[in-house]
Amino acid sequence: MSKSIENLLKNSRLPGPRGNLELLYSFSKTATEKEIKECLSFAKDDLHNSPEEFVVMCGIVGYCIFHKDNIKSTLTTIRKYASHNSWRIREAVAIGIQEIIENDTKQMIQNLKQWMQGNELEKRAVVAALCEPKLLKEKAAVMSLLEVLQEITMTFDETKDKLSEEQNSLRKTLGYCWSVAIVPFPTEGKSAFEKIIKSKNKHIRWIIKENLKKNRLIKMDRNWVDKILKQIS
- Predicted confidence at residue 103, as pLDDT, reads 61
CA distances to 8, 41, 191 from 214, in Å: 35, 40, 18
Helix axes 186-196, 139-153, angle to 10 degrees: 10
- DSSP type of residue 15: S
CA distances to 153, 172, 173, 177 from 166, in Å: 14, 10, 11, 17
Q: Any idea where the domains of the chain sit in the sequence?
A: 1-102, 139-233
- Predicted confidence at residue 161, as pLDDT, reads 83
What is the SS3 assignment for 32? Answer: coil
- Give the closest residue to 83 by CA, choosing from 152, 16, 169: 169
In tens, the pLDDT along 124-175 reads 999 999 999 988 999 998 999 999 999 999 999 988 788 999 999 999 999 9
Can you tell me the distance from the alpha carbon of 163 to that of 4, in angstroms, rounded to the nearest whole number?
41
Q: Where does the chain have alpha helices with state H?
A: 3-10, 21-28, 33-40, 51-66, 71-78, 87-101, 105-111, 113-116, 120-130, 139-153, 165-182, 186-196, 202-212, 215-220, 222-232
- Give the closest residue to 103 by CA, choosing from 59, 142, 151, 57: 142
pLDDT below 50 — which residues of the chain? Answer: none
Can you tell me the distance from the alpha carbon of 62 to that of 138, in angstroms, rounded to the nearest whole number?
26
